[in-house]
Structure 1
Amino acid sequence: MPKTIAPKEFEFAIVTGKVHFLRAMGKGQYMKAKSTCQGEGLVHLVMDDRGQEWHDYVLQFMESHFPSQDKFWIGADDADWDDQFSWVDERLVADSMKTFWLPGEPHFKNRVVDERCVAMGKSPESPGGMWEDVACTKTLPITCEIRFP
């Protein structure tokens, strides 16, 4: 029987010349999403930080695994409240190859709700998987990622 290098229940992809494994993990609030992925070992919430090709792949993966959802967690937040979003590996989102913010985002607040976590959307308001800051208490789909360099 052939052996696979993919961790159990993860899907393998080579995008932008890098090796990635993705796994859909249900839904939860942002902190649950982070801990769910970390509980899988050397895994983190999916980061949309490698340009258009990776962005399109991540969106397609999320749409195929969560077809009825219009927003998905990506691994970025402003947990330290400095008005700068960071990826779960602590690099600044602003330093990414390309960003995909919806016009007017990030704004960190929607009326009285603080929005310190980042979601990728797919709706008429958020075409093509644009990002928006949202309340970390929202329950959204979770996608975990393992990547090699």
Structure 2
Amino acid sequence: MSDSMEASKKQQPGLLEWLSHSQGHLVLHLLSVLLLAGLLVAVLVQGFKGPSSSGYETIHKQLLQLKGEMESICRPCPWEWTFFRGKCYFFSKSQRNWNDSITACQEVEAQLVIIESDEEQTFLSVISKEKGPAWLGLSDLREEGSWQWVDDSLLADSFSKYWYQGEPNNMGNEDCAEISSTGWNDNTCSLEKFWICKKAASPCSR
């Protein structure tokens, strides 16, 4: 069996896990919509009966009950974040330069993404195919040719295989790394691009 086939088998569990959790989030959204629809029907029925203090009290109790049910739904990541292998990922809908992308992640108690495994690289490349190129938390701003993540750790040699062929080439003072569906590229840090934030998942994040 070739190395590529073995790598594909190793990557499949991670992608299946991500797809499973994505379906889970969809179910939670549908459940929320159904609960709100049910409450709306209850309000309309009560309204047709005419205003009364007991009717308003019933609606108020239903609202409190719905709020409790919504808060009891346990999810590992905030809404609009994606869960993968114990981490939460946010894929921006707007674009910023590299430094501002770091700030944007810090504002939501996260970090511009650091890739720690081949499975994570595969997961992010699949997302990037849909979203487009995005900033990684990787640069050689401190020392040309010495690539470091935003947590000051050095880029491991085992990840060098993810650079495009001939990259990084520092053409035009390119010191920040971006990811796309086909690999990594060094680019000018002042350019505005999408970005990816990452933070640890929690048992019941709201």
2:199 maps to 146
1:90 shift after superposition: 1.0
The one of 67, 75, 92 aligned to 1:4: 75
Query: Where do 1:124-143 residues align within 5 Å?
Result: 129-143=182-196
Calculate the aligned-residue CA RMSD, in Å.
Answer: 1.8
Query: Where do 1:1-149 residues align within 5 Å?
Result: 1=69, 2-14=73-85, 19-25=86-92, 26-41=94-109, 43-51=110-118, 53-64=119-130, 66=131, 69=132, 71-93=133-155, 95=156, 97-99=158-160, 100-108=162-170, 110=171, 113-122=172-181, 129-147=182-200
Cα distance in 2, alignment partners of residues 107 and 142 from structure 1? 21
1:125 maps to none
1:107 shift after superposition: 1.9
Higher RCO by CA contacts (8 Å cutoff, separation 6 or greater): 1
User: Which amino acid is the alignment partner of residue 4 of structure 1?
Assistant: R
Q: Could you list the runs of 4 or more consecutive aligned residues of structure 1 that deviate by over 4 angstroms after TM superposition?
A: none
Cα distance in 2, alignment partners of residues 77 and 120 from structure 1? 12
Helix, strand or coil for the counterpart of 1:31?
helix
1:58 shift after superposition: 0.6
User: Which amino acid is the alignment partner of residue 77 of structure 2?
Assistant: A
2:125–2:183 Cα contact (<8 Å) kept: no
Greater per-residue helix proportion:
2
CA deviation digits over 1:23-48, x for unaligned, max 9? 1122111011111011111x111223
1:3 shift after superposition: 2.2
1:82 shift after superposition: 3.6
CA deviation digits over 1:49-90, x for unaligned, max 9? 312x211101112333x2xx3x22111011213421101111
Greater per-residue strand proportion:
1
Helix, strand or coil for the counterpart of 2:117?
coil
Unaligned runs of 5+ in 2: 1-68, 202-206
Helix, strand or coil for the counterpart of 1:114?
coil
1:96 shift after superposition: 5.6
1:144 shift after superposition: 0.6
* 1:44–1:106 distance in 2 versus 1, CA, 3 Å: same
Unaligned runs of 5+ in 1: 123-128
**TM-score, normalised via structure 2 length:** 0.57
